[in-house]
Amino acid sequence: MIRRLSQARERGIPEATVARLPLYLRALNGMAERGLATVSSEDLAVAAGVNSAKLRKDLSHLGSYGTRGVGYDVEYLIYQISRELGLTQDWAVAIVGVGNLGRALANYGGFVSRGFRVAALLDADPEVVGDHIAGLNVEHIDELEAVIRRRGVSIVVLATPAVAAQQVADRVVAVGVTSILNFAPVVLSVPEGVDIRKVDLSIELQILAFHEQRKADRMSGGPAMAEEWPEAVDL
C-alpha cells in the first residue's frame, strides 16, 4: 500500500513522460476553455496525438488522479500537471542575442502564457542596445551577470551567433544559472548539473530531407532495390 504509493510518486518521472506533459497540458487547457469538466484518457490522448495507454501510464507517474469509469477532472489535472512541471511559480527568463530570432522569441506569446516572464534582453551590438522590444529595454552584454543576479533569472535563452554561444554559456553558468535553452548551432560544453536543451532549425530540416528523399527513392526505385550502392565515389 505505502509501497504502491511511493513507487508511483517516487523521484524519477521518465524523461519521455516529462516531454509529453506540456502536450497534455495544452490539450487540457483547450478543453477547459470549451467548458469540459471531465475527460477520458481516450479523448485526451486523441487531442494530444498519442496513444491512450501511453497517456495513462504517463499520468500514473504523477499519481492516481483519475476516477475509474469516469475519467479525469480537467481542472484538477491541469493543476497537477502544472505543479509537476513547476509552472505554478514564476520563472524569469533572459534572452541573450537580439537578432531576428531573439526578437521573435521576445515577442512570442507562448512564453508569457505559462509562468515564464522575459525579464531581460541582452546583446553585444551597440546598435541594438537601448532598443525597445516587447516592452523591454535591450541591455549590453556587459551587464549579463548583474542583470541575472538582480532579476533572479534562472533560465537563459541563447539566440546568439554560434561563435558567441559557448562564451555566454560559461558566463551564465558561472553566476549560477543551471538551465539553458540553446538556439545556436553548436555543441555547448557545460559542467555536470547544468541542463541544456537545444533547438536546431537546420537539423530539423535535414531530418525532413532525409525522409523526403526516402519517399522519392521508393517511388522510383521500388522497394529495397539494389543499385543502392553506386560503386564507390572518389573525391
Q: What cell does 13 get?
A: 518521472
What is the CA 159 to chain-centroid distance, rounded?
Answer: 15
**Residue 8 lies near DNA (rule: CB under 7 A):** yes
Q: Within positions 35 to 74, which residues make up the interface with DNA, using CB under 7 A? A: 40-42, 50-54, 56-57, 59-60, 64-72
In terms of residues, how long is the chain?
A: 235
Q: Among 51, 53, 63, 174, which residue interacts with its own copies (rule: CB under 8 A)?
A: 63
**Residue 6 lies near DNA (rule: CB under 7 A):** no
Q: How far is the CB of 145 from its own copies (least distance, A)?
A: 19
Beta-strand pair 179-182/155-158: parallel
Question: What count of other Cβ atoms lies within 10 Å of the Cβ of residue 194?
Answer: 16
Q: How far is the CB of 74 from DNA (least distance, A)?
A: 11
**Of the two residues 10 and 15, which places its CB atom closer to DNA in the complex?**
15
According to DSSP, residue 99 is labeled S
Q: Within positions 20 to 49, which residues make up the interface with its own copies, using CB under 8 A? A: 21-23, 25-27, 47-49
Rounded to the nearest 10 degrees, the angle between the axes of helix 52-60 and helix 15-33 is 100
Q: Within positions 144 to 173, which residues make up the interface with its own copies, using CB under 8 A? A: 154-155
Q: Within positions 189 to 228, which residues make up the interface with its own copies, using CB under 8 A? A: 189, 193, 195, 197, 199-215, 223-224, 228
CA distance 126 to 135: 19
- Are residues 199 and 183 in contact, defined by beta-carbon separation less than 8 angstroms? yes
Q: How far is the CB of 119 from DNA (least distance, A)?
A: 31
